Amino acid sequence: MSLTFTHETLPQRVVFASGQAAERAAEEAARLGSRPMLIGKPLIPAVLHHTDVAMHVPVVTAERAREAAAAAGVDVLVSVGGGSATGLAKAVALTTGLPIVAVPTTFAGSEATDVWGMTENGRKTTGSDPRVLPRTVVYDAALTATLPREMAVASGLNALAHCVDSMWAPRADPINRALALEGIRALRAGLPADDREQTLYGAYLAAVAFASAGSGLHHKICHVLGGMFGLPHAQTHAVVLPHVLALNAVAAPDGFGTAELRRLRDAVDAPRALRDHGFRQEDIPAAVDAILPVVPAGNPVPVTGENLRELLQHAWSGEEPR
């Protein structure tokens, strides 16, 4: 059978340098500007160190950061932290065009995508724009050493969700699949062993696959849950993943179905139930109504109000997916 697909690779410089984050981030920032704004954790000298960072990037938080950047006359953004720090830098870049050097301290993956997201009035809006893609990413596994094991697991499973969702996302193609499968291999090896370097490598591959393939059913569900109910990003993805994988079992990644995911979740003591993270059972109907209109076309299994309600019920209670 002939191959017919269109693949787009995003332009980005990637530096893997364990134990060298400060030095390499300073070098990369100097390539792009002379007045850096440091967003998140302290790492390099900067004309402005901005620590007003919040989960899901509230619009008001983004506006404050933009005003601070303009007042300080910065010409390059350096984000140090998890997805919230990266997301805030993207929100500033979206309106200013300032280049970003991203230094991740979790496995969120936002640093390798051109996707931005902001929340206002309980609604998370996302989009893609080349201005928000970090020019350089500096990966240093040593920066994840202080990440608590529980959070590392949730964040790593969030990365795994990027791999899995890339299999049936709107722009899925054989190149995305190859990246995602290697990402799955690295994450399956790294998470149980608490090997932060291998996990970081897998998270990067996962994000690259996801950036090209687009947002599939899993991420549409989690974006709604995070934006409407303020649920923690990584834990929400970790809980929802097995239920979406079970629903879309016909398109499961090669050698990685519900049984393999269950063994991995057991090995790392993964988060199990959305009710443990602030989601209420009475919120399920509203969540269903909000998710149905954004379900991607072409999902391997038709998504209905009934099967979506059942999926969220099981994710809320922590039942194993059917």
Query: What are the boundaries of each domain within the chain?
Result: 13-144, 149-317
Is residue 85 packed enough to be buried (19+ CB in 10 Å), middle (13-18) or exposed (0-12)?
buried
DSSP class of residue 320 equals P
C-alpha 112/C-alpha 196 separation (Å) is 18
pLDDT for res 244: 97
Is residue 167 packed enough to be buried (19+ CB in 10 Å), middle (13-18) or exposed (0-12)?
buried
pLDDT for res 195: 97
pLDDT for res 317: 97
If one counts every other C-beta atom within 10 angstroms of the C-beta of residue 132, the result is: 23
Report the candidate in 307, 106, 113, 107 with the shortest Cα–Cα distance to residue 210: 113
Q: Can you give the length of the chain in residues?
A: 322
pLDDT tens for each residue of 268-280: 999 999 999 999 9
Name the H helices within the chain: 21-32, 59-72, 83-96, 149-165, 174-193, 196-213, 217-229, 233-247, 258-268, 284-291, 305-317
149-317: CATH number: 1.20.1090.10
pLDDT per residue as tens, the chain (322 positions): 578 888 888 999 999 999 999 999 999 999 999 999 999 999 999 999 999 999 889 999 999 999 999 999 999 999 999 999 999 999 999 999 999 999 999 999 999 999 999 999 888 888 999 999 999 999 999 999 999 999 999 999 999 999 999 999 999 999 999 999 999 999 999 999 999 999 999 999 999 999 999 999 999 999 999 989 999 999 999 999 999 999 999 999 988 999 999 999 999 999 999 999 999 999 999 999 999 999 999 999 999 999 999 999 999 999 998 7
pTM of the shown model: 0.92
Query: Is 149-317 in the same CATH topology as 13-144?
Result: no
Q: Which CATH architecture group holds 13-144?
A: 3-Layer(aba) Sandwich (3.40)
The structure tokens listed for 114 are 């051109």
pLDDT for res 22: 98
